[in-house]
Structures are given as structure tokens and as C-alpha cells.
Amino acid sequence: MKIAVAGASGRAGSEITKELSRRGHAVTAIARNPEKIATLPNVASTKGDVLDQAGLARLWAGHDVAVSSVHFLASDPLKLIGAAKASGVGRYLVVGGAGSLEVAPGVKLVTTPGFPAQYKAEAEAGGAFLELLRQEKDLNWTFISPSALFIEGERTGKFRLGTDQLLADATGKSWISFADYAIALADEIERPAHLRQRFTVGY
């Protein structure tokens, strides 16, 4: 498939680009500083700005799938959604956040007392993005929330999927590596199972 990745130089975006390359997809890797994107088979790096809706739509046009892996506070969800719709891509996948996941019925992680204050604005912006997507009638979107800790780590291929509830391991730790998250995202592209839905991945 032809897949465009915005934010391809970031920690999650670079692992997603690497995973898609490994699987033989033709990837257009987009970043403000494309020289920071690793040289990989099947990957063409290009300069792009996620705040330039028309420019991003042009970069995404002609692809089967567009992925945005960008910080919520450094982007505009209306522009991203607009670019996805204008580009005519078949699917739009968003690297989401954990803050909007529930830790109990009706209780979102971002509202819990222990949620780090420095991440709250970003988490709330991610939740607002998800709500905008849920109102979309025409766009074929998927929002993929990582677990609470989204960190560097091994590519194990062993993880669980969930829907709107935060996943945690037997010790109560909620985490996922960028590499394993990238596997879950690539799997969703190849075998669609969550069309117009949010899902989460964790150990």
C-alpha cells in the first residue's frame, strides 16, 4: 500500500515508518525537518507542515492511508481532519493519547488526581481531537491510544488490544513501547478491525 506518515521523525512516527518499511509498503515520510528521517527501503522523505492544511492534503493525495503522529498542542485537529478529507485517502489513522481512556466507568485517566500536570493540556487536546473524529460522517478514521507510558523499548510483538479502557499489566503498570505500538498500527492498516473507532494497545 501507499502510506503517508506525518510526523515521521518523531519517536512514534519513526517506529511506524520503520515498521511499514519492514513490511514492504511504499511510505511517504513527512516532517518539518526531513533530514531527521532515517534512510530506509521503500521510504521517500519529504518536507511538510501539519499546520498547512492545503499543503498536507497535496502530500497525502494519492495514498491509500494517511497517518498523523504529531503532538496535539503543536497541530490543529480541524486542519488535520480537513487535509485528510481533501486528500481523498481511503483511511486516516491518528496516533492518539492515553488521557481520554477510562480507568473506571465514566472516569478518564486525565481527570485522575495522579495525572502529571505537565501532560494535562496535551492529553485534553487529544481527547478533543477524538471527539471531533467521532462527529465525522465521511472520514474513515481510526484513533489509536497507547497505554499510559509510551516509551522506548523492545519490539516484542506481544501486546493486548482494548477499546476505551486503559490497559495495565498484572502489576498495574500501563505501558507500551513505540516499536510494539507501531506493529499494532501496521496490523490495523493491513487488517482493518476498528473503522471509525478508537482502540488502545498495551502489555
**How many Å apart are CA 177 and CA 154, to the nearest integer?**
7
Q: What is the pLDDT of residues 92-144, one digit of tens each?
A: 999 999 999 999 999 999 999 999 999 999 999 999 999 999 999 999 999 99
Q: What is the pLDDT of residue 50?
A: 97
Q: Which set of grid coordinates corresponds to residue 4?
A: 503517508
B/e letters for 44-53, b = 16+ CB within 10 Å, e = fewer, are ebeebebeeb
Q: Determine the average pLDDT of the residues in 46-55.
A: 97
Q: What is the pLDDT of residue 121?
A: 97
Q: What is the pLDDT of residue 177?
A: 98
88 band by pLDDT with thresholds 50, 70 and 90: very high
pTM: 0.97
Q: Determine the average pLDDT of the residues in 39-57.
A: 97
In contact, 141 and 133? CB cutoff 8 Å: yes
158 band by pLDDT with thresholds 50, 70 and 90: very high
Q: What is the pLDDT of residues 167-176, one digit of tens each?
A: 999 999 999 9
150 band by pLDDT with thresholds 50, 70 and 90: very high
Burial class (CB within 10 angstroms; exposed 0-12, middle 13-18, buried 19+) of 42: middle
In contact, 1 and 26? CB cutoff 8 Å: yes
**How many Å apart are CA 145 and CA 28, to the nearest integer?**
23
Amino acid letter for position 34: P
Q: What is the pLDDT of residue 120?
A: 96
Amino acid letter for position 176: I
Helix-strand-coil split of the chain, %, nearest 5: 35, 25, 40
Residue with cell 488535520: 80
Q: What is the pLDDT of residue 149?
A: 96
**How many Å apart are CA 73 and CA 115, to the nearest integer?**
18
For the chain, percent of residues with pLDDT exceeding 70: 100
What secondary structure letter does DSSP report for 80?
H
